[in-house]
Structure 1
Amino acid sequence: MIFRLGFVAMTLDLENCSPSGTVTYTTYKKLKDENAKRIRLARVSRSNLENTLRILKNNAAQNIEVYRITSKLIPLATHNELFGWNYSEEFQEEFRRIGEYIKANNFRVSAHPDHFTLLNSVKAEVLEASIRDLDYHVRIFEAMGLDDYRYKLVLHVGGVYGDKEQAIKRFKKNYLKLPDRIRKRIILENDDKAFTAADVLGICEDLNIPMVLDVHHHNCVNNGEEIEELLPRIFNTWNGEIYPPKLHFSSPKSNKEYRSHADYIDYSDFVSFLNKVKVINKDIDFILECKMKDRALLELSEKLKETEGIVQINKATFKI
């Protein structure tokens, strides 16, 4: 079984390299004229895009092939006041360079719209905003020339709204109404409060959606299901996909703040999970959700290469 390690958005290995620079709407409104507003947005957007390419080049040097792109590349892109802004065209050269580098290095990239993106909301305006946000993420991929559906968007089911069964039905209904260019990129993740791994697996099997197992979230909320029981079915939801199953792994910050992510990965917990999953003998990719980002990945890598029964192929790829 081959497994790869990846991380989220920000590198701590490079100085002044945030891909998530922001322009708040309050700041935007205070600027004197339309030209000043667009200059500010363009400057921050170009910096984010340039830093994303810097991060990808650093990843290539570290053999890190799995990476989650920030959702904050283009500030205010989905705000009503900027409706019609053709950022794809304005930054087409920057997007093109990123996409070409991703393809040339066979990176597995994804994005994760935030928790306000709710396909099962009971409010029409929230659903409309959620679809607009999904469209933004897809436009980013398309602007990069990442046109096939291997480049995914990780989504949670959403809220319960007092009735989980109806919330699931509402998700399915709205999901099926999405245009192919959005719908075929969505993969579903279990959350840490409401929708368990078993809940999400049932939805994924019904709708033929690949499932991202978040191991930490499963430990936060479940109905007694053992993770070993679910893994074969979860992995089967990836049948027909180009990339192997993807999982999220993180460690709790503390017993008191169990849902929060720790700075680093608990090595013993990670190896314990590997021993559970290796019996299935299927290649997998991990996104490590840690406060220390790539430093956490590299620290775990150093420990794994000294682990009996694990062979390091490169800094982020191993065989067990």
Structure 2
Amino acid sequence: MTTTPQKSPAADPPAQPGAFSPTLPQSVGVLGGGRMGAGIAHAFLTQGCDVLVVERDDDAAAGARTRVESAVAKSIDRGLAGTAGDYLARLEVSTDYAGFAGRELVVEAVPEIWELKVSSLQAVEKHLAADAVLASNTSSLSMSGLGAELQRPENFIGLHFFNPVPASTLIEVVIAKQTAPALVAAAKGWVEALGKTAVVVNDAPGFASSRLGVMLALEAMRMVEEGVASAEDIDNAMVLGYKHPTGPLRTTDIVGLDVRLGIAEYLAETLGERFTPPAILREKVARGELGRKTGKGFFDWA
């Protein structure tokens, strides 16, 4: 008696480049484990994703792990369900870019230095599958310019998270000229799955948030410089009068004065002298008064 072999169920066809799903990727990479990168890792971990953070060396990697662990612990203290072990079991920290192979999404979160951004993105892209998405957390640099340096710019998009990431409810989705339209729709779905709200902007210097936020902060700095009012009173005017959750100078301390200086210099170069950094900002950065991360900026954080 002859039997006919049973056909095995057809496998799902492999994902094609340009076919982007709004379902949150389950395998995510983050390049850079500073305060921002650690916050991004935390956002994906707490939504059930497996996350790899890659740093430049062992010391930086250890620091990144500590920051992610601390963020998870704080979230649990505030009511996040589960244990720290549940989340951290899905965290990997490494110094090897090869670990990005197989990741569905990698978010770059290195400092706002053009050459560093380009070299970092290119180094990551070498390890990604053709259908993987590469995102930048840049707060001001040209996404189209960065995309032009990549082999698959249609798979490149801006995901600008805000500090502190666990508390912020906003992600700016930035569309480069080369970004596939389907990727924009998918990214909006990812933002919603992270429990945050997407603001979609076309590529322009400073996008929407940094351009407006930096302009307000620079004017506040000039007011301190001119003796108009104290940093505390200027911030209180915006918090109490305009319902800002945090004043522009305290926000600058949280973001980092060095970061704000870099953005302002770039905006001054691309948009004009109205973004010229005031002397007080340059002087504080030169003295190492970078805000909360150094213990002193416009406020004392010690």
TM-score w.r.t. length of structure 2: 0.31
Which of 1 and 2 has greater Rg? 2
- Tell me: higher relative CO, structure 1 or 2? Use CA pairs within 8 A at least 6 residues apart: 1
Query: TM-score normalized by structure 1?
Result: 0.30
